[in-house]
Amino acid sequence: MLIAIAVWSAVFAGSLAWNWAQTKKNTQEIAYVQIRLALEKDVLYRHWNANCGGLYVEVSDVVEPNPYLSHIPERDVVTPSGRKLTLVNPAYMSRQVNEFGKIRKSTTLTRITSLQPVNSLNTPDPWERQALQAVSKGEKEVVTVEKRDDMTVLRLLQPFVTEKSCLKCHGAQGSKEGEIRGGISVWMSLDHLLALEQQKIREILIGHLALWGVGMVGILITLMQLKKAQEKQQQTKNELIRSRKIEGIGLLAGGMAHDFNNLLSIVCGNLGLIKAFGPKPDERLERSYQGAEQACGQAKELGLLLLDLSSSGDPKREVVDLKQLLADIQSQVPQPANITSQIVFSETSAFVRGNYRMILRMLRNLIVNAFEAMPNGGVLKVNAKDYIVKKGDTLPVAMGDYVELSIQDTGKGIPPEILLKIFDPYFTTKDTYIQRGLGLGLAVCEVIVKRLGGVITVASTIGEGTVFKIYLPSARLAAPGEKSDRSGNAA
C-alpha cells in the first residue's frame, strides 16, 4: 500500500514540477518576444525618421530646439502662417517618446545610451554600463531580469550602429558609418506577466492536487478491494479446511453411530430388564441404577450427535415452531437468576422448515454459551424476523424466504483472533476437561445449519457482547395443515 502511494505521489510531484517549470519558461519566452517586438518597432520608427532626414515639430514647452543640432542651417523654420518648427532627429525623438511614456506610465520604455554620450541625458546607469561594455566586446545583446523599485523588469540592450542616414546629425560629432556608438536600451515591466503566471501555477496546483486526490482514492479503493478479495480467499480457504475437518468427523460419526446405538440399546435394555425382574435394590443400588440410566440417556444424546454430524442422508424436514422450541429449551436449561431474557418474534417469523431435534440442539448450545458468557449477569436477546435473500446478497445461501434468528448476549465479547476460529472443530477456550468437552459445540451448530439449507454468522464487540445470527428457510408458505412434530418428522 505504501509503495503504491509513494509511486503515485512521485508521479504527481514530477508532473507538477514539470508543469511548473514549463509555465515559468513560457512566461520568460513571452516576455522576451514582447520586449524584442517593442525594440524592433522603436528601431523601425528611428530608421524611418532618419531616412526622412528628421521631422519638423512645432516648438512648445515640451519640444524645444535641440542644441545638439545647432550646426544644421535648417534646424528651425517658420511656416507661411508664422508657426515655428524645429527639427527632431531619431535620438531626440526617442528621448521625447521615452519621457512621454513615463508620464503615461507605459510598461515598456526605450532610450539611447552610450559610454561616450554627447548628451548627458544619455549617460548609462550601472546596468547599461555593464551591458555596453559587453556589446563592445562582441555580444549581440544583453538580457536580464532585475528588481526596480516595487516592480520586476526585463531589460534588453542591443548595440547601436551608426548608419549613413545618421551622419546628417552626428557626422559633425565625429561619428562614422558602421561604428558602434552605444546601445538601444529597453526595459519592460513583468508584473502583468508574473500575475498571469501565478494564476496559471495556482490552476496547475489545484488541478494536480485534485488529480492526486482522485488517484489516492482510486488506490485506496483498489487496495481495499484487493484486501477484501484476499480476506475472502483466506476465508474460503479456512472454510474449506474446516469443511474437510467436519467431513472427516462426519465420516467417522456416520460409521460409528449405528453400531454405537445398537450397543447402547442392548445396554439400556438389559439395564431395564435387571431393574424390572431383578431383586429389589437397596437405596445404594437404586442410586447406581439411576446413575446408569442417566449415563444411558447421555450416551443416547451422544449417539444423536454423531448422527447429526454424519453427512450421509438428508435430515427429515418439518415445520418447526421456534416459540415452542425455545420454551422446551427453557425447561431443559435453567436460566441464571442474574440474567434476563428478551424474546421478540414478528407475526410470520415463528416458523421455519427444518428438523426439530437438530434445531433444538443448535439453539441449546448457543443459549448455554450465551449464559456462560455472562457470569456477572446480563441480558439474553432472542429476536426473529423475516429475511428475503435476493440476487447479489452476500449470504452464501440460495435465493428465497428465510427467518433471521439472532441470539445476542451482553457479555465481555470475543477477541478478533478467536472469533475467526470459533467454528473450527476441537477449538475451545475453556480451561478444564469437564468444561471443554469435545470442542464441537459451535462446529455442530454450523453443520446443522448448513445441512438444513441455512447459514450462521457471528459478530462480537469487546466489552459489549456477541450476536449469532442463524438464517433458516422460512415455513410461512407451508402447506395448509402442516404442523410441527417434535420427534423430527412432519406430521
Q: How far is CA 239 from CA 243, 314, 441, in A?
A: 6, 21, 17
Contacts of residue 217, defined as CB under 8 A and 6 or more positions apart, other chains included, come to none
Q: What is the structure's pLDDT at 435? A: 40
Cell 455472562, located at residue: 374
Q: What is the structure's pLDDT at 432? A: 41
Residues paired with 381 in a beta bridge: 342, 408
Distance CA 477, CA 353 (A): 10
Which set of grid coordinates corresponds to residue 359?
A: 434445531
Query: Could you tell me the domains of the chain?
Result: 2-54+89-189 (3.30.450), 223-313 (1.10.287), 314-473 (3.30.565.10)
DSSP assignment of 200-244: HHHHHHHHHHHHHHHHHHHHHHHHHHHHHHHHHHHHHHHHHHHHH
pLDDT per residue of the chain (491 residues) written in tens, 0 to 9: 678 788 888 888 888 899 999 999 999 999 999 989 988 888 888 888 888 888 899 999 888 898 888 888 888 999 999 999 999 888 888 888 888 887 878 888 888 888 888 778 888 999 989 999 998 888 899 999 988 778 899 999 998 877 666 655 565 556 666 567 788 889 899 989 989 999 999 999 998 888 888 888 888 888 888 888 888 888 778 777 766 766 666 666 666 666 777 777 888 887 777 777 767 767 777 777 777 877 887 777 777 766 666 655 567 889 999 999 999 998 888 899 999 999 888 777 789 999 888 899 899 999 999 999 999 999 999 999 999 999 888 888 899 999 999 999 999 999 988 887 887 776 666 654 334 444 567 888 888 898 899 999 999 999 999 999 999 999 875 544 455 555 444 33
Amino acid at 444: V
Amino acid at 438: L
Question: Angle CA(174)–CA(175)–CA(179) in degrees, nearest 5?
Answer: 140
Summarize the chain as % helix, strand, coil (round to 5).
50, 20, 30
Which set of grid coordinates corresponds to residue 37?
A: 517586438
252-271 as b/e: b if 16+ CB within 10 A: ebbebbeebbeebeeebeee
Nearest to 113 by CA among 105, 101, 10, 98: 98
